[in-house]
């Protein structure tokens, strides 16, 4: 054996009770599990690791990650590796970097620079791909061909597909445009994507009508993938938006995974039981349904995402032109502050809940860590004037924390039988949301050990076996002989998120070892130089 973990507490990802065992690894896989009660000769190996006091679990799967460029820019990627994450699902919220042409790539780089960096002029990543398959190849051969920090799966982003086939117009697609979108989705799935995502409060994906989305989901279903929508509202129309996605995928015969399934804003306080009843009714009727969430109340996105959808028509340059025009800017302000813009989920925006977490222009760093309302008061101006100035001066770049969540909703949703973990972690900005560095240890430390919302075995199943089943990974997500040795060892008594809102880039504690394919990515609490990550393609031989 290459490595043997002696006397570990195995939490195997199935939800079953933990047990004591020696776990032996060979050639990147779990070769032998020798339970305490088995008797006989214990496995030996080239390296013996004392697991006394440690739990051994499958590596955690981040079902909603925004590491699309971070995995190509940062070989260490400690934000996720140190949490015990061994697989991330990219291409989220309908916006990412494949499939594209030159025009679309330039536009999407501007639109989501607040999520990922990569704005025009940023040379930290060579955007030398245009297709899904070429992007996945790039992940496989990152950093001089060695690979990347963690494994990564990809979702075809429906908003980018619409940008490529239709453009930025708020209208129904023509028959030819719909055919082109279906072709692009099919090509992405054939090249290894796990499914398709949407961002239905983000332009231009939000311009798609249900009939269009249904047709795309039929393609996803034919390839055995799943649909992952950021649906049309998490605020005033949240429950109706969840119901819309359930009905749409049912008609298409497509599996559904609800992205960052939250209920935010004052209108939804205490309404988690209504959402859970809706989900249970769908499951009981035969729906193939799952969801993910992060264990925090504030959300995180870009400031530009709060704008009304009509302001985004035509793309980033058109948005900036509208913001410069006084009359149009006044219309935008009314939509946001009075009517409740669809970008802000139909709820009038409260500027004292919008905290600037990052900017692209260093000259604007003084706004970071303050709400728009506070910065406006310091400047002696209306909050809208401050927000507008930031959007223009930073060319739509600011990221925000939006403090609109409810703890009771968070706890109730995370206990649901189809729940999985997703960080929705945006790694950009000087003061990012701590979920990027803390989601998985926070589940284990806060919601298992301290609050008892989940048992240890339940929580690990939410973070491992259940997401692996959604991704249809035949040899990941469980501690089983023959499975890939993507593993995490943690101390259930000390594991905790180090990241806070004041110090969001602090690494967790209580996670000494993380392995991918049997190779130590984290060893004795320190990041190694191992780059064992590769793309995990739905159709790739030997890669799940």
List, in order of start, the domains of the chain with CATH numbers. Answer: 60-297+405-496+505-527 (3.20.20.140), 303-401 (no CATH)
Average pLDDT value for residue range 313-341: 96
pLDDT digits (tens, 9 = 90+) for 176-225: 999 999 999 999 999 999 999 999 999 999 999 999 999 999 999 999 99
Confidence label for 542 from pLDDT (cuts 50, 70 and 90)? very low
Question: Secondary structure of 172-200 in the HEC alphabet?
Answer: CCCHHHHHHHHHHHHHHHHCCCCEEEEEC
Average pLDDT value for residue range 121-150: 96
Q: Is the dihedral of CA 195, 200, 204, 207 positive or negative?
A: positive
Average pLDDT value for residue range 396-414: 96
Answer whether residue 544 shows pLDDT above 50. no
What's the chain's average pLDDT?
96
Strand order of the sheet with strand 289-293?
Answer: 60-62, 85-90, 151-157, 195-199, 226-230, 255-258, 289-293, 419-421
In percent, the amount of the chain with pLDDT more than 90 equals 96
pTM: 0.95
pLDDT digits (tens, 9 = 90+) for 519-540: 999 999 999 999 999 999 986 4
Whole-angstrom distance, CA of residue 167 vs CA of residue 198: 16
Q: Are 72 and 148 in contact (CB under 8 A)?
A: yes
Helix axes 175-190, 158-165, angle to 10 degrees: 130
E strands in 36-130 = 47-50, 55-58, 60-62, 85-90
Confidence label for 477 from pLDDT (cuts 50, 70 and 90)? very high
Q: 487 pairs with which residues across the strands?
A: 58, 515
pLDDT digits (tens, 9 = 90+) for 346-369: 999 999 999 999 999 999 999 999
Confidence label for 429 from pLDDT (cuts 50, 70 and 90)? confident
What is the per-residue pLDDT for 539? Answer: 62
């Amino acid at each position: 054996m290459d490595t043997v973990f002696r006397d570990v507490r195995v939490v195997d990802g199935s939800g079953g009770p933990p047990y004591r065992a020696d776990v032996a690894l060979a050639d990147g896989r779990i070769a032998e599990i020798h339970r305490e009660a088995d008797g006989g000769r214990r496995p030996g190996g080239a390296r013996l690791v004392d697991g006394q006091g440690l739990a051994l679990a499958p590596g955690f799967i981040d079902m909603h990650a925004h590491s699309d460029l971070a995995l190509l820019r940062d070989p260490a990627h400690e934000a996720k590796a140190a949490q015990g994450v061994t697989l991330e699902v990219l291409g989220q919220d309908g916006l990412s970097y494949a499939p594209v042409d030159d025009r679309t790539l330039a536009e999407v780089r501007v639109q989501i620079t607040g999520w990922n960096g990569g704005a025009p002029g940023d040379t930290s990543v060579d955007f030398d791909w245009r297709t899904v398959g070429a992007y996945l190849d790039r992940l496989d051969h990152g950093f001089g061909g060695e690979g990347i920090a963690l494994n990564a799966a990809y979702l075809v982003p429906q908003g980018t597909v619409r940008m490529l086939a239709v453009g930025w117009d708020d209208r129904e697609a023509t028959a030819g445009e719909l055919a082109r979108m279906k072709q692009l989705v099919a090509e992405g799935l054939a090249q290894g994507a796990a499914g398709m995502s949407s961002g239905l409060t983000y332009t231009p994906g939000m311009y798609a009508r249900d009939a269009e989305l249904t047709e795309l989901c039929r393609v996803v279903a034919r390839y055995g993938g799943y649909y992952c929508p950021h649906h049309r509202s998490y605020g005033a129309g949240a429950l109706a938006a969840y119901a819309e996605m359930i009905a749409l995928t049912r008609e298409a015969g497509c599996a559904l995974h609800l992205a960052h399934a939250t209920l935010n804003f004052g209108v939804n306080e205490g309404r988690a039981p209504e959402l859970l009843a809706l989900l249970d009714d769908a499951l009981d009727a035969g729906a193939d349904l799952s969801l993910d969430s992060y264990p925090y109340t504030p959300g995180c996105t870009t400031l530009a995402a709060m704008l009304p959808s009509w302001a985004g028509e035509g793309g980033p340059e058109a948005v900036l032109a509208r913001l410069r025009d006084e009359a149009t800017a006044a219309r935008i302000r009314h939509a946001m502050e009075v009517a409740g813009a669809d970008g802000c989920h139909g709820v009038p925006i409260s500027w004292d809940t919008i905290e600037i977490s990052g900017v692209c222009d260093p000259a604007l760093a003084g706004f970071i860590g303050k709400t728009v309302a506070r910065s406006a008061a310091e400047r002696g101006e209306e909050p809208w004037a401050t927000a507008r100035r930031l959007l223009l001066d930073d060319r739509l770049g600011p990221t925000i924390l939006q403090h609109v969540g409810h703890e009771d909703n968070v706890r109730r949703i995370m206990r649901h039988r189809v729940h999985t973990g997703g960080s929705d972690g945006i790694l950009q900005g000087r003061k990012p949301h701590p979920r990027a560095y803390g989601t998985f240890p926070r589940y284990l430390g806060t919601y298992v050990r301290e609050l008892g919302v989940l048992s240890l075995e339940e929580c690990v199943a939410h973070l491992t076996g259940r997401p692996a089943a959604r991704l249809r990974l035949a040899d990941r997500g469980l501690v089983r002989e023959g499975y890939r040795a993507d593993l995490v060892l943690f101390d259930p008594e000390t594991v905790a998120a180090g990241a806070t809102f004041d110090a969001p880039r602090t690494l967790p504690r209580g996670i000494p070892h993380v392995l991918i394919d049997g190779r130590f990515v984290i060893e004795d609490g320190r990041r190694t130089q191992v780059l064992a990550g590769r793309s995990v393609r739905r159709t790739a031989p030997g890669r799940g």
